[in-house]
Structure 1
Amino acid sequence: MDSKLVLNSENELRETIDHQPKAQKMIATLLSYIFHPVFVPVYVIYFLLFVQPFLFVALRLEGPDVVIRAKMGILLQSIVNYTFFPLVTVLLLKGVGFIQSIKLKERKDRIIPFIACNIWYFWIWYVWRNLEAVPKELVIFSFAVFMASSIGLLVNIYMKVSMHGIALGTATAFLCLLGFEYGPGMAVYIAIALLITGVVATARLLLSDHTAKEVYWGLAVGVAGLLVATVVA
């Protein structure tokens, strides 16, 4: 594959890849959509609720129906705040002309979506932290998402930081935190998360949507958000 440097609309040099195999581009695009930042938090929460459900010990004494209702309520809230509201926000911004593309390819297009998403992220954290049925780990994760997005907004002033990197950095760091708390049983899941993070980061580079620096900064922002959340939340 050949690569070349081009100037974007903000007069920044970006590397693009010429003669990229069509199948490779399709796979990279598919991975970028599957692990889009609006889906990653929901994947983590679904994992905590149904794949490795070790957080609802207190509710089990009240019967399985209570546990199921609590889990479905939390999952629905996460879909609404982490997926539905951000998507609607971006579509509305595109409709009224505040952003050029729903793909947010330009750094300046990401400012308002970052701010709007921070509102949804703060709201769900604030609600969950005051609900006894929501485990502490979920409160920490929701606050980590909010903090990572907030830090990402600040970094975005200087560069087009990778939103995929932020989301996956937060998710992977959170699973590592659970590994310290719950032991070797988390090892396989952490390995899978690291693999997914590496593959998606590579996909973003292959699509020439980001430089390596922007991807690495995105991952660092995600980890930083989780570290702040563990101390504050």
Structure 2
Amino acid sequence: MSEQKSLSQKLSGFISILLHPVFIPSLLFGWLFFMNQELFFGLTEKQRGLWFITVAYTTITFPLLTAVLLWKLKFIESIQMRELKERYGVLIASMLFYFWVYWVFHKQFQAHVLIQTLLLGVFLTCVLVFLASILYKISMHTAAWGSAAVFAAILTFESLPAAPILLVSVILLAGIVGTARLQLKAHSPQEIYSGYMAGLVAQILAYFVAPLI
């Protein structure tokens, strides 16, 4: 029994790392990049590559480096940031990174509105998680995947190619992530569902706000 529990814990830990929130913006952008070339119409191959690298560096490399730096400087006890107060520094830095990449794609690149919607949704999700974290802990994993599920639903509503496949896949992964976090006892059910709701609200808000900015 203990061996089964240990295996389950290890699998849940692996899932939590593999489907970590930090990877989601680049995964969704990559989907748009490879499956919906019309959103990048008029760009050279070099420009498209620059866009992808910009998103990946800003949403993966910079937040991870921030977390490692805070850990090395003893501002946080672990990369997992189990304590609520440990999240603040990383979340504030991530908000700055996410807003910057959104603003670059909005003002400088003048990207398609759906790309702007994705990046604005990522930023707003981070903002809502930070605001919620002032009062109580919610799951950053489920917030990110809740936002991803709504974005996939938006793509389906906008009739983008293969979007329904993405939607079903993201919903399935969102459920797997939530289950893994519960299995690890990293969150209570309320914290899991609050995360989903934060991501849902943030991405819906981004969908309606992005075209107006």
Q: Same fold (TM over 0.5)?
A: yes
Distance 2:71 2:53 in 1: 26
Letter of the 1:150 partner, please give it: V
Distance 1:169 1:53 in 2: 25
Letter of the 2:32 partner, please give it: L
- Partner of residue 43 from structure 1, selected from 24, 27, 32: 27
Larger Rg: 1
* TM-fit CA distance, 1:85: 0.4
Instruction: Return structure 1 stretches of 4+ with deviation > 4 angstroms.
Output: none
- Between the two proteins, what is the percent identity of the paired residues? 30
Does residue 213 (structure 1) correspond to residue 197 (structure 2)? The answer is no
Name whichever of 43-52 and 195-204 sits farther off: 43-52
TM-score, structure 2 normalization? 0.92
Question: Residues 184 and 55 of structure 1: is their aligned pair in 2 closer, same or farther, counting only changes over 3 Å?
Answer: closer
Contact 1:173 1:226 in 2 (8 A): yes
Aligned residue for 1:97, secondary structure, equals coil
The equivalences for 1:1-233 within 5 A come to 21-59=5-43, 66=44, 68-132=45-109, 134-182=111-159, 185-233=162-210
Distance 2:57 2:137 in 1: 26
Contact 1:165 1:219 in 2 (8 A): yes
* TM-fit CA distance, 1:214: 0.6
Distance 2:100 2:37 in 1: 24
Distance 1:21 1:70 in 2: 48
Match for residue 15 of structure 1?
Answer: none
Structure with the higher fraction of residues in strand conformation? 1
Structure with the higher fraction of residues in helix conformation? 2
Q: How large is the Cα RMSD of the aligned pairs?
A: 1.7
In structure 1, list runs of 5 or more residues that go unmatched.
2-17, 60-65
* TM-fit CA distance, 1:223: 0.9
In structure 2, list runs of 5 or more residues that go unmatched.
none
Aligned residues: 210
* TM-fit CA distance, 1:70: 2.3
